Amino acid sequence: MKRILPIILASGCGLLALLDYLIASPGIDAIGGALSEGVIILAAFALILGVLNLASVHGRRLAAQGERRVLSGLLLVALVGTLALGVVPGPGQALAWIFNYLYMPLQATLTALLAFFLMIAVYRAFRLKNSDAAILLGVSLFLFLAQLPLSGAISPYLPALGEWLLAVPVTAGMRGLLLGVALGTMVTALRVLLAIDQPFRGE
Amino acid sequence: MIQALGLGSDVLAVLAMLLAVAGILAFLTLRYAARPSAPLRRIEAWERLKELANRAAETAQPIHVALGAGPWEGLPIAEALMGWVALGYVARRAAACAQEALVTAGDGVLWAGAQGILNEARRQAGIIVPTALPEVRFSGPDPMAYAVGAVETARDRPCTAHLLAGHFGPEGLWLAQAAAQTGAPRLGGTADALTGALLYASLDEAVFGEDLFAAGAYLDQPHHLGSLFTQDLLRSVIIVLILGGTVLASLGLWG
């Protein structure tokens, strides 16, 4: 029973959620809605556990007096401080200030760094280590050239060829990739529904 | 009955297709469970992961498994499940040598699932497990915060490799490039096409799309061979349909 019950529950809930998408019935809609709400509530509790794990890991680092104890201390102060400001009743201006003037700029800074990381990654990928990299480099340089405003002046065929490359081989490749992902997603979901995979049991 | 449930012909077609695919999947899974071997094309990333798992066993330095940040809002749950499959392999290899693992997650559900996978791997290896494992770290629910936290975690201790397995957006590039500073090999991938392009450029070995979903069959779960061949069969059917549709449309017989 200990083994069978989770399988019946998981497969049953999965099946009901699937039917909720396909069948317009008030009864199944209500069950589907309740299941979705249940997932949100469970995910919220899992998030609390995750935050406790974060606090415990950094608490231990702080206590261990290691090299990065200052950073761990800062993280804990920020975590507890933001939490306190969030639960205190009131207009929430302090929380909005933290969000607008600390969180958002930090996010923007990290995102801006992506441009530099992308350049480094592209440099690595374009080193001619194999034929794949050579094709990638050749096609990228050609498309870069074909999309320049003055490419038409070099040759009238250049922009047209660039457009053809994007519209035919690139789109075909993307569609093939998406079809593969869709099939993989469907089969993975069916594996859980049929209890071939039981991720809820750690298997 | 069918009308009362609001079942149109399109819904019936979807249900029939799902039932047919489920039947094929069940049949092929049973078949390959009984005879778990089949010729498979080589996927470099999964072969490299096997080599790195051997190296991790020798050096006692774990493979850092990055499961990504929360998938639940956008619902790419299948990627999260495949992340757990890859983690399961790494966890079982580590548990067989009574070694620690290192996992980072940016979502509470992923974090809790990873705890369960590590506990189960250790239970199977006959190791007494605590209820909560410190090797599974929650690094923040925001994607960029997760990436920064995961890199910090990976820098805390030497790792044999970094495996990105799960759902990643642009933060995957951040994580992959920052992890490069540790000098350890980086491999993995995601099903998202645009992020896949970024990861191809930044990882040592990358898997895309359907190759990500082949993880179980290539690693240590031969019963996944059934689902791999179900996907191949469906792909063949789609190819035939596309070609047939193109010919019929060209001849003016359809569409």
Interface contact flag, A124 B201, Cβ < 8 Å: yes
Q: Average the pLDDT over each of A38-42, B70-74, B234-238 and give the range with the smallest value.
A: B70-74
**In b/e form, how buried is each residue of B58-73, taking b as 16+ CB within 10 angstroms?**
eeebbbbbbbbbbbbe
Tokens of B184: 């350890």
- How buried is A138 (Cβ within 10 angstroms: 0-12 exposed, 13-18 middle, 19+ buried)? exposed
Domain assignments of chain B as residue spans, ordered by start: 44-230
What is the DSSP secondary-structure string of B177-240?
HHHHTTT--EEEEES-HHHHHHHHHHSSEEEEHHHHTTHHHHTT-GGGHHHHHHHHHHHHHHHH
pLDDT at A47 exceeding the cut of 80: yes
Q: What span, in angstroms and rounded, lies between the C-alpha atoms of B80 and A184?
A: 12
Interface contact flag, A54 B140, Cβ < 8 Å: yes
Q: What span, in angstroms and rounded, lies between the C-alpha atoms of B221 and A129?
A: 33
B176 forms bridges with which residues in the sheet? none
Contacts of B126 (CB under 8 A, 6+ apart): none
- How buried is A79 (Cβ within 10 angstroms: 0-12 exposed, 13-18 middle, 19+ buried)? middle
Interface contact flag, A122 B201, Cβ < 8 Å: yes
In chain A, the residue whose alpha carbon lies closest to the alpha carbon of B7 is A23
Q: Average the pLDDT over each of A30-34, A179-183, A198-202 and give the range with the smallest value.
A: A198-202
Q: Average the pLDDT over each of A22-26, A150-154, B74-78, B225-229 and give the range with the smallest value.
A: B74-78
Interface contact flag, B213 A24, Cβ < 8 Å: no
pLDDT at A128 exceeding the cut of 70: no
Sequence-ordered alpha helix ranges (H) in A64-150 = 69-87, 93-98, 104-126, 131-146
Helix (H) / strand (E) containing B129: none
Dihedral sign of CA atoms B3, B6, B10, B13 in order: negative
Selection from A75, A54, A110 nearest residue B108 by Cα: A54
pLDDT at B129 exceeding the cut of 80: no
First to last CA, chain A: 17
Interface contact flag, A177 B193, Cβ < 8 Å: yes
Interface contact flag, A184 B109, Cβ < 8 Å: no
B189 forms bridges with which residues in the sheet? B165, B207
pLDDT at A44 exceeding the cut of 60: yes
Give the model's pLDDT for residue B20: 93
Q: In what order do the strands lie in the sheet with B136-138?
A: B136-138, B102-106, B63-69, B161-167, B186-190, B205-208
What is the DSSP secondary-structure string of B9-47?
HHHHHHHHHHHHHHHHHHHHHHHHHHS--------HHHH
Domain B44-230, classified CATH 3.40.50, yes or no = yes
Contacts of B5 in chain A (CB under 8 A): 23-25
Contacts of A54 in chain B (CB under 8 A): 137-140, 149
Q: What is the dihedral of CA B152, A201, A13, B235, to 10 degrees?
A: 80
Interface contact flag, B210 A120, Cβ < 8 Å: no
B104 forms bridges with which residues in the sheet? B66, B137
Tokens of B87: 């983690």
Whether the CB of A102 is below 8 Å from some CB of chain B: the reply is no
Nearest-CB residue to B173 (from A39, A117, A197) = A117
Q: What span, in angstroms and rounded, lies between the C-alpha atoms of B110 and A30?
A: 27
Tokens of A16: 């009901």
Contacts of A68 in chain B (CB under 8 A): 152
Q: What span, in angstroms and rounded, lies between the C-alpha atoms of B28 and B34?
A: 10
Contacts of A200 in chain B (CB under 8 A): 116
Model ipTM? Answer: 0.86
Q: pLDDT for B55-74, tens place per residue? A: 999 999 999 999 988 655 55
Q: What span, in angstroms and rounded, lies between the C-alpha atoms of B144 and A12?
A: 35
pLDDT at A111 exceeding the cut of 80: yes
Give the model's pLDDT for residue A202: 63
Whether the CB of A46 is below 8 Å from some CB of chain B: the reply is yes
- The mean pLDDT value for B207-233 works out to 89
Q: What is the dihedral of CA A121, A125, A129, A132, to 10 degrees?
A: 160
Q: Average the pLDDT over each of A174-188, B71-85, B157-171 and give the range with the smallest value.
A: B71-85
Nearest-CB residue to B111 (from A42, A50, A107) = A50
Q: What is the dihedral of CA A42, A45, A46, A48, to 10 degrees?
A: 160
Interface contact flag, A107 B230, Cβ < 8 Å: no
Interface contact flag, A187 B231, Cβ < 8 Å: yes
Tokens of A54: 């974060």
Q: What span, in angstroms and rounded, lies between the C-alpha atoms of B59 and B54?
A: 9
